[in-house]
Amino acid sequence: MTLQQEWESAFLNNYSTPSIELVRGVGSRVWDSEGNGYLDLVAGIAVSSLGHGHPAVVDAVSSQVGQIAHTSNLYANQPALALAKKLQALTGHPCKIFFCNDGATANEAAFKLARKHGQGTRLGLVSTDGAFHGRTAAALALTGQPGKRSPFEPLPGDVVFVPYGDVEALKGAITSATSAVILEPIQGEAGVHPAPAGYLAAARQACDDAGALLIMDEVQTGMGRTGNWFASLAAGVVPDVMTLAKGLGGGLPIGAVIAFGAAADLFIPGDHGSTFGGNPVSCAAALAVIDTIESQGLLDHVSLMGAHLSESIVALRHENIVGVRGVGLLQAVVLQGVTGSAVEAAARAKGFLVNAVAPDAIRLAPPLVITQVELDEFVQALPQILKEATS
């Protein structure tokens, strides 16, 4: 049997069958089971912040798993406490933390915070067209992609969807019955669409005026991906609730909910929980990620590399490239005359992993440690990749 046949015989059919099997990684490069090497410009969908096999993560995880690997939420553990305090310090604002498993469970908890805030009378939520917040029931209910929602409806409601970036539409949807608004600073799964200037601040003001919570989904944008710890705070907007995951653990599964101000007091014992949330091994990995980003100046590096990447791609002036959108090392190359899936396949054949995030775009979310030489390697190969994708 081929790898693909074995995979299909073993797993539920909720994913497309993988074309390659990755077995090893170092830095920004990975190798498959056939020995082929690739420059990883996906990083596990913005997860592997420090790339693959980073000594800081390896050492932290190895050390912690040898001490105690799991405590549950019945007992305290030092890595979880240290990570919570570190996140509090990074925000620079009074807040409290809840740890969970991933982005979906973080947004599920945020949904429940909105329910508590609404006290059973304010049940309305506002999300945006194209938004992606996860595939668990409440997170899916907030996801503005009908194709993902419709097979599982009815979902928890009452959710209203408005066009992303449209301030007037957002204001018009927020009423006295609205408990919360949830936004991504950059819509990742919709094709990497950054919020227009002033949009997040307008959302903050509209929520304040209506007494609704503002939830910022920073699962993809947080932890340095945009050249800032948190994209919303960098825009001068302090949400009531922020959700994190992906890059926080550098490859280990962890999600977090950060509740600011009065929102930090909504939950009482028994309201919510997670068996694996605050797992000491995942928390140790997250601490290593944060410490490395700080000690190696990776926020500035991400900003520099992001600007270099987008400018270099635009400078190609290629007929199949409409432009580049995104911030830092979360970018999309917008295409014409060729499909994203064809470019993804052609890039893989040339030794580059990219993600066809939309029919007309590929997403680039490489490790934060990627070098200019590595980025230039991809840019120089891009014209030939596009040629082969159109042939």
Average pLDDT of the segment spanning 54-73: 98
Catalytic: 217? yes
CATH number, position 244: 3.40.640.10
- What percent of the chain has a predicted confidence (pLDDT) above 90? 98
Tokens 């990074």 — which residue? Answer: 90
Q: What is the DSSP string of 122-180?
A: --EEEEETT----SSHHHHHT---HHHHGGG-S-S--EEEE-TT-HHHHHHH--TTEEE
Kindly state the helix (H) or strand (E) to which residue 61 belongs, with its residue range.
helix 55-65
Select which of 246, 260, 267, 378 is catalytic. Answer: 246
pLDDT of 210 reads: 97
Q: Which residue has the tokens 């693959």?
A: 52
Residue 188 confidence class, pLDDT cut points 50, 70, 90:
very high
pLDDT tens by residue, 332-344: 999 999 999 999 9
Number of structural domains (the chain) is 2
Q: What is the mean pLDDT of residues 217-228?
A: 98
Claim to verify: residue 344 and residue 301 sit in the same structural domain = yes
Range of the domain at 79: 56-295
Q: What percent of the chain has pLDDT over 70?
A: 100
pLDDT in tens, 172-186: 999 999 999 999 999
SS3 content of the chain, % helix, strand, coil (to 5): 40, 20, 40
Confidence (pLDDT) at 267: 98
Does the structure show a pLDDT above 90 at 157? Answer: no
Same domain, 330 and 257: no
Do 192 and 216 share a domain, yes or no?
yes
Are 222 and 83 members of one domain? yes
Pair (272, 158) in one structural domain = yes
Q: What is the CATH number of the domain that holds 313?
A: 3.90.1150.10
pTM confidence score? 0.97
Given 40, 217, 240, 360, which residue is catalytic?
Answer: 217
Out of 99, 111, 132, 260, pick the active-site residue: 132
From 295, 313, 338, give the residue that closes a domain: 295
- 3-class SS letters over 252-289: ECCEEEEEEHHHHHCCCCCCCCCCCCCCHHHHHHHHHH
Q: Does residue 277 sit in the same domain as residue 314?
A: no
What single-letter amino acid sits at 370? I
pLDDT at 330: 98
pLDDT tens, residue by residue, 228-260: 999 999 999 999 999 999 999 999 999 999 999
Same domain, 49 and 129: no
Residues 40 and 101 in one domain: no
| pLDDT the model gives residue 375 | 98
Give 74's pLDDT tier (boundaries 50, 70, 90).
Answer: very high
Do 135 and 154 sit in the same domain of this protein?
A: yes
Do 105 and 89 fall into the same domain?
yes
Closest by CA position to 356, among listed 1, 11, 5, 16: 16
Q: Which residue has the tokens 């969807």?
A: 161
* pLDDT for res 120: 85
pLDDT at residue 313, rounded to an integer = 98
Mean pLDDT, residues 329-356: 98
CB 310 within 8 A of CB 100: no
Tokens standing for residue 268: 């009482």
Look at residues 263, 295, 327 and tell me which one is the last residue of a structural domain. 295
Q: How far apart are CA 170 and CA 138, in angstroms?
A: 20
246 is catalytic: yes
Catalytic (active site) residue 132: yes
The per-residue pLDDT for 1 is 82
pLDDT of residue 391: 82
Domain boundary among 295, 321, 352: 295
Per-chain mean pLDDT for the chain: 97
The 10 Å Cβ neighbour count of residue 380 is: 11
For 172, list phi and psi in degrees, rounded to 5.
-65, -25
> Is the pLDDT assigned to residue 276 strictly greater than 90?
yes
Q: Can you give the pLDDT at residue 136? A: 97
Binned at pLDDT 50, 70 and 90, residue 113 comes out as very high
Same domain, 136 and 278: yes
How many CB atoms are located within 10 Å of the residue 322 CB? 15
In this structure, the answer to whether residues 11 and 111 fall within a common structural domain is no
pLDDT digits (tens, 9 = 90+) for 75-106: 999 999 999 999 999 999 999 999 999 999 99
